[in-house]
Structure 1
Amino acid sequence: MKIRKLLYFPLLGLLALTSLFSCGEDRWKEYYPLTGRDLWMDSLMREVYLWYEDIPAANSLNYFQAPDAFLKSILSKNDKGFSTVDSIMDTPLPSYGFDYTLYKVATSDTTYTALVSYVAKNSPAEDAGLERGNWIMLVDGDSITKKTEERLIDGGARTLRIGKYVIVKEENNGGTEGDTENGENEEEDKEVGIIQETGDVALPAVRPVTESAIYDTNFIQLEGTDYKIAYLAYNSFTAGTAEQSEKYNNELRAFSQECKQRGINNLVLDFRYNSGGEMECVQLLADILVPADKLENPFAFLQYNDKQSAQNRDLILDSQLLQGGVNLNLPTVYIITSGTTAGAAEMLINCLKPYMKVVLIGQTTKGEYVATETFINPKYPWAVRPVVCEVFNSNGEADYSAGFKPDIAINETSYLQYYLPLGEPDEILLHTALQVIAGIVELPTPKTGTAIVRSFTTQKNLRKGLIVK
């Protein structure tokens, strides 16, 4: 990864320090070790930040704050958490590698079940056999409560009692008013969802988990039709690793080759867990998808602040990026979205719209219409990623600050019997996409469960937002 290093802005730093001088006394040596990091961030932001004019005057700022608190104090109201600062980490954090959502047990106010919503590849959770759609009923033989829930994240080896969501018929034992003359009940048995135990799994202790950009693929032939459909769960616009800079891009190219060999004529992109990544990867995926006659056309325009206007530039649908991959010449792409679909994923949606039909299925996206860039000062173990430019499509449009609304809105937690591992044809959002392709959409009756209490998401080592390299 190419990282821009911006070390010092001496003049701006000196101006900011004037607020720290007392009665004309130069106290630089005393204060700089405590304030240098924040002063560097301040100077950087006043040069490259898209909304630098909104930064408060230096004499009103506190340069003794923690990095995240200081950054928050200078951000524009237009910045909805897009700009970030965090410590530089060389290795991923230890993790079990699964996310979950807590649901109340209907018969208790103090116990819960945990729906597994995501399982990382090559993680302790995958080793244990956990799958998306599993329900954790017990931890080490105990019910999940506010006290025992911490065992799901504390890092030790655990035994989990697993269940699955099934629909059963509940016999109607009502009064006689609904009975007919021959004694039969007019009211049919009610269908209800329950969690049925399936057994125990041994969850190993946490360890560092590194995730690939491509989570899963599948190839589906709709019976009785000529529809040959490829499915791609693409979780991060990341080109590769430190050791292999094009590793994930090459996997994407290989996927396009397999699609070509199989005669794929429809493609479903699953972005529900994609929170962004690198702009070059957006271009590559677009090159694979668009109609062939659109290659070499304008794709996007990057517009920086007036101090950095020399960096304003166009991006094109550059066929040279394919480098062993192939263009699939598709007229339509079907994209599964969620509230965490953001940044680079949204850029792809926006920039494809002038050239092909884009059908969105799921929930409204986050609404991250700007790009960030990474800056590191080697003196401090922190990276600052400010918003540096706005990203427009070839029609000059970037009007999705409220996110992209889906063409078919579906809350997958309303269909718990179809809350399945990604890539399974019966999984509710992929199933809906397949129906859209076939021209018939008949959603099953929602079966809502008990109230959601809260969700837990592990910190993933994936590229977020939309990053300029």
Structure 2
Amino acid sequence: MKNLILVCIAAFALTSCFEDRDDTAVSGGDIKDFVWKGMNAVYVYKDNIADLSNDRFDSSETYSNYLNSFESPEELFESLIYEEQTIDEFSIIVPDYIQLEQVLQGTSLSNGMRFGLVRLPNETSDIIGYVRYVSPNTDAAASGVIRGMIFNRIDDTILTENNFSDLLSATTYTIGLADYDNGGTPDEREDDVISSNTTEITLTKAEFTENPILTHNILNISGSTIGYLMYNNFRIGDANLNELNAIFSEFQSAGVSDLVLDLRYNGGGSVSTAIWLSSMITGQLTGDVFFKQKWNSEIQASREQNDPASLESRFVDQMIKRDSDNNITYQQNINSLNLSKIYIITTGSSASASELVINGLIPHIDVVQIGGTTRGKPQASITIYDSPNLGRQNANPNHRYAMQPLIYESENANGFSEYYDGLGPSLGFSISENFDDLGELGNEEERLLAEAIADITGLSRAAITEQRPVKHFDHKRFEHPFIYDMFDDRPLIFNKLNP
């Protein structure tokens, strides 16, 4: 997919975008030149940014003066972003594309503790962390960290909104655990009390490549065979795809009739993998439109004229990857369940490719979305480099800057795309995680999974409540003022991309 996009950009965009630009160095610097030309070439909201217009500059001197008016490449980049607070909070620029590539491939310095942060009730700046899950084969797993642990100190320093970034970005740190007392009113936070205890755990980060499949199992409940898959990132590596496809083969063999896809912590990833996963869920839709691409007007017009079929992504029955010469490098038949209904668990951390799966499936099958409203990212992005065709090959050896701009919006077969505020849960299925009582992921009594099971098996809400207290909230309850931005131990430069 990445190579195909770059070919499209080279063929349809660069000629017009770089016309009347000579190849002499400008005084604004190579990096700023790359920033403007790259955004001019591919940015999906180019039409909305006057400074990205092809006729913005009447001479090289005017262009040079414009670049020189910015103190840094980052300042120039930020000036070109469209409605950063509401529409594009995801485009980023990085000074080292090696680190960016590693993170996008799932590799980073990590101790394996994936966590969220929340404000303390009745406090102005103090916060606590809670463990969402622990990646296997990491220091956190070896050290006994488990989902649901709560911590309020790092190296004996109380966590606050002002210090958490510095404290948690250290390679080695010690978490101090805390006890949480909800005062007997789990639906209210104002009377909650957090008390430090004496348990401390020292964690050290190391280079780690996370498996996007955290857990999966098959549940046989009340005559229903239910598949469960917790998928935390849309990876495109061969081994990741093989494992994902093998799980669906396992589901097939077990006669799975209902599937719960857990995307609650999945911030996105490969668009191709989103298409393939959706094709594994279905199977009866091969050839039907999964989603359509909406680029900036220049690229859109060129593609509509030269290759209109490339603007539509369809359900498939094979996973195929190709190299830059269009040679097949990976090919697998897809194992599909042919489902007409699916249950998908989401939170505010579900974004991008996760939302693409939901939105793309909705016109074709019944999608029951359980949990909270998703992040709101209907756009795709790509890494572009300072090279003649914006690809990795022949990148400028004088620096390692790269950009990850949004390049198109996706709309489903019904034409719906602008879910900037996120995709809300299905009516009657809005339910939050309680960070002080998270439950075991994949366990049939975990609150969000239990909600799906109740609907699948036909058990009444009353019957489920008798077995396991389930609290239903409007999704805004999950976003009350005490909830702080979700966070994990990916490098801080990527917080904007995937907090």
- Determine the C-alpha separation between the residues in 1 that align with 2:184 and 2:152: 22
Deviation for aligned residue 1:317 = 1.2
Deviation for aligned residue 1:260 = 1.1
Number of aligned residue pairs:
421
Report if the CA contact (8 A) 2:2-2:382 is conserved. no
* 2:318 aligned with 1:320: yes
Distance verdict in 2 for CA 1:125–1:395, change over 3 Å: same
Matching residue of 1:247: 239
Gaps of 5+ in 1: 19-27, 171-191, 241-245
Matching residue of 2:212: 213
Distance verdict in 2 for CA 1:9–1:281, change over 3 Å: closer
Does 93-102 or 456-465 show the bigger shift? 456-465
Alignment of 1:228-377 (within 5 A): 228-240=225-237, 246-290=238-282, 292-308=283-299, 309-310=302-303, 312=308, 313=310, 314-321=312-319, 323-377=332-386
- Determine the C-alpha separation between the residues in 1 that align with 2:401 and 2:134: 29
Matching residue of 1:68: 74
Matching residue of 1:95: 110
1:149-183 alpha-carbon deviations (Å, 9 max, x no partner):
6655433253x45466678879xxxxxxxxxxxxx
1:87-143 alpha-carbon deviations (Å, 9 max, x no partner):
30255442333224245388x999765322343333322221212211226656x47
Given the two structures, how large is their TM-score scaled by the length of structure 1? 0.76
1:236-276 alpha-carbon deviations (Å, 9 max, x no partner):
11111xxxxx1111111011011112211111111111111
Distance verdict in 2 for CA 1:132–1:67, change over 3 Å: farther
* 2:48 aligned with 1:54: yes
Deviation for aligned residue 1:340 = 2.3
Matching residue of 2:436: 416
From 385, 401, 421, the equivalent of 1:382 is 401
From 109, 134, 138, the equivalent of 1:119 is 134
From 33, 36, 39, the equivalent of 2:30 is 36
1:59-97 alpha-carbon deviations (Å, 9 max, x no partner):
594454433322221123384223322230255442333
Question: Partner of 1:277: helix, strand, or coil?
Answer: coil
Matching residue of 1:431: 450
Question: Partner of 1:215: helix, strand, or coil?
Answer: strand
Distance verdict in 2 for CA 1:73–1:446, change over 3 Å: same
Matching residue of 2:172: 156
Deviation for aligned residue 1:435 = 1.7
Question: Partner of 1:260: helix, strand, or coil?
Answer: helix
Report if the CA contact (8 A) 1:277-1:463 is conserved. no
Aligned-residue CA RMSD in angstroms? 3.9
Distance verdict in 2 for CA 1:455–1:346, change over 3 Å: closer
Q: Specify the structure having the higher radius of gyration (Cα).
A: 1
1:277-327 alpha-carbon deviations (Å, 9 max, x no partner):
11211111111111x432232222223334223254222211123825411
Give identity over the alignment, percent: 24
Distance verdict in 2 for CA 1:288–1:12, change over 3 Å: closer
1:189-217 alpha-carbon deviations (Å, 9 max, x no partner):
xxx97779998464332222321221221
Distance verdict in 2 for CA 1:126–1:72, change over 3 Å: same
Deviation for aligned residue 1:437 = 1.7
Distance verdict in 2 for CA 1:324–1:403, change over 3 Å: same
Report if the CA contact (8 A) 1:279-1:344 is conserved. yes
Report if the CA contact (8 A) 1:337-1:364 is conserved. yes
Gaps of 5+ in 2: 186-190, 320-330, 387-394
Given the two structures, how large is their TM-score scaled by the length of structure 2? 0.72
1:209 aligned partner, one-letter code: F
Report if the CA contact (8 A) 1:100-1:118 is conserved. no
Question: Partner of 1:384: helix, strand, or coil?
Answer: strand
Distance verdict in 2 for CA 1:427–1:66, change over 3 Å: farther
